Structure 1
Amino acid sequence: MNIIKNKTVRLSDVSKSNDYRETKWLLDYIGEEVIRQYKKHSFFDGQLIYGLDEDTFLKFVVKSIKEKMLERSEELFYVACFSKEGDKLSQWRGYADDGNGISVGFNTDSLRKLINKNESLSLLQVVYPEKNSNSSFEEIRTHSTDILQSVLEAIAEGDTKKLFSRETYAIDGLHEISSRVFIKDSIKYKNPSFKEEVEWRIVYDEDLDKYTNWEDWYDEVQDKSLLSGEMKLLFPYGLQFKAYRNKIVSFFDLSFKTCMKNMINEIIIGPKSEVQEGDIHQILSYYGYEATDINIIKSDSTYR
């Protein structure tokens, strides 16, 4: 109802996802790739560091780096999740009120047109890497090479302490894995257990740190967002918050009002839903859509 009525898609803080390993999977693969690259090209010439052999030392460094990355909670990204499978039983059970909900089909070209209005918005296809796969993705190779190079430089400079430091400057100075580029890359990777979702994501990676004070975001007296210009058109309600289960989740509602024509091209009524096709047609027409251009069907899935 809110998608159709408000003509918005909700982008929520990805770190509050229902998958507790969200944005962390890439770190696991990078750790393995660092070790692989090292074993392929031995660099340390058998020297001991802090009494550890080179293999044990490198594994310890990688573990420390991963722990530091997981502590970087100030990196905020907002995501809306879509599936190429609009009528899949597991999706109905997991995300649509156990089949009582609705599946809303968006036109990809219209979504891209909307996303192109702001360079901080992007549409990404989710990758589900397999642990035993021989595939080596470019992002993994690149970040792993950066880490290994940084470790070598620290050893050459006799400054290995910074490899284990918890200070922010040490993290930033160590390698570019701590950059927003890496965090955004990690959003593309997800637990292989979710592979059947065939997921795509809209990602908003605006650097929120440039808004140094909360007063820049919100007028508490007039109870409204202080965003203006293009940002106001895209996010008319600004940054918002909701209580969800045992969490506080921040989010943006991305408006497609300025390009709503052909934005929604299909609506599938859940297998347990009592909503009628006529109900959908009525609210679409009421809120300004060309209802006759939207395919309205009942799910082919059946269960109780």
Structure 2
Amino acid sequence: MIPERLFEPSDERVLYHYCSPEAFVSIVKNKTVRFSDINMMNDAEEGRWGYQVWLEVANKLLAPGPQIGLPEPVGLDFIDAVDSFWSVSGVRLTSFIAAFSKDADSLSQWRAYADDGRGYAVGFRSSALRRLPIQLLEVCYDLDQQVREMLISVSAVFLEWLDKGRDFDQPWFRQRCLELAMSSIAFKNPAWRDEQEVRCQHVVSVDISESGWILRDDGGESEGQPIAGVPVEFHIRNGSIVPYIDLPFDPTRDPIAEIMMGPKCPNSPGNVLFLLGNSGLGRIPLRGAGAAYR
């Protein structure tokens, strides 16, 4: 795990999900948040950027000279073991994510994710998101910081490995490598820094056998209680087949703090209020993005 990437906001902290009008209506009517396979995100480097950071750290650890804070040099056997389990993790598990932003009024996100400003940014309370079987990860866009955090986390695994008998076959070691791989999705290219992203991550199992390739949601845990998995579905996005799951939120616990209407949104507030009322969500505050309602 890369502990610096864990996001632990206050319950009332609001995070914004930019979406098209169609996705907004689906959220309101179905009371769900959509999570998509990270490999099908709009950033072509998804899933690979974090691995490149790991490779840079591995080369630093293997470089000649003393490693500060480590009692002995890190050997190639340790690096190979971490890399092996990291690679296997991508075959057995994959991250499904829902993207949120700290910024309620981002022009680039209106354009990219909200139908060129005709959509919405749904402001979810952090408490509502944490009740989902997910992990909240705060994205880091600074490469030097990414390398520092990865170096500290890998060094911690190395020290634990030394302390526990230098055995690569123990379940705890495989788990640590898996956690590194899964949390590395919180590292992104600096070009995306204006999005101020917080990622909701839900891990889905990958079952590849002679009988077929299957994605399976095994569920998770929320507030100390087990949560059953939901069906993995598929839809078409820009010609690509995209796996997704819809995780339900509890509409009785005020999950949505406010709704931002995009700068080119053609609807009046009344249209939205009727949708909310008829869907059982009551009257949620509405705001216009960057301009008065039109």
Q: TM-score, normalised by structure 2?
A: 0.68
Cα distance between partner residues in 2 of 1:181 and 1:89: 34
**Structure (1/2) with the larger helix percentage:** 1
AA at the equivalent of 2:246:
D
Matching of residue 299 in structure 1 with residue 289 in structure 2: yes
In structure 2, the CA distance between the partners of 1:193 and 1:102, relative to structure 1 (3 Å rule), is same
Cα distance between partner residues in 1 of 2:121 and 2:94: 28
> What does residue 35 of structure 1 align with?
59
Matching of residue 136 in structure 1 with residue 160 in structure 2: no
> What does residue 252 of structure 1 align with?
245
The equivalent position to 1:80 in structure 2, one of 76, 98, 109, is 98
> What does residue 256 of structure 2 align with?
264
Q: Is contact 1:241–1:251 with CA below 8 Å preserved after alignment?
A: yes
Q: 1:39, CA displacement in angstroms?
A: 3.1
Matching of residue 200 in structure 1 with residue 212 in structure 2: no
Q: 1:140, CA displacement in angstroms?
A: 3.5
List runs of 5+ in structure 1 lacking aligned partners.
Answer: 44-57, 151-169, 219-224
Q: Is contact 1:34–1:144 with CA below 8 Å preserved after alignment?
A: no
Q: 1:259, CA displacement in angstroms?
A: 4.5
Cα distance between partner residues in 2 of 1:8 and 1:239: 14
Q: 1:253, CA displacement in angstroms?
A: 0.1
> What does residue 44 of structure 2 align with?
20
CA RMSD, Structure 1 to Structure 2 (Å): 4.2
**Structure (1/2) with the larger strand percentage:** 2
For the residue of structure 2 that corresponds to 1:77, the secondary structure is strand
1:95-114 map, 5 Å: 95-112=113-130, 114=131
> What does residue 124 of structure 1 align with?
137
1:149-160 map, 5 Å: none
AA at the equivalent of 1:248:
I
Q: TM-score, normalised by structure 1?
A: 0.66
Larger radius of gyration: 1
| Matched residue count | 244
Identity of aligned residues (%): 28
Q: 1:180, CA displacement in angstroms?
A: 2.7
Q: 1:192, CA displacement in angstroms?
A: 1.3
The equivalent position to 1:185 in structure 2, one of 163, 183, 186, is 183
In structure 2, the CA distance between the partners of 1:111 and 1:260, relative to structure 1 (3 Å rule), is farther
AA at the equivalent of 2:111:
R
For the residue of structure 2 that corresponds to 1:109, the secondary structure is helix
The runs of 4+ residues in structure 1 deviating greater than 6 Å are 144-147, 210-218
Q: 1:216, CA displacement in angstroms?
A: 9.9
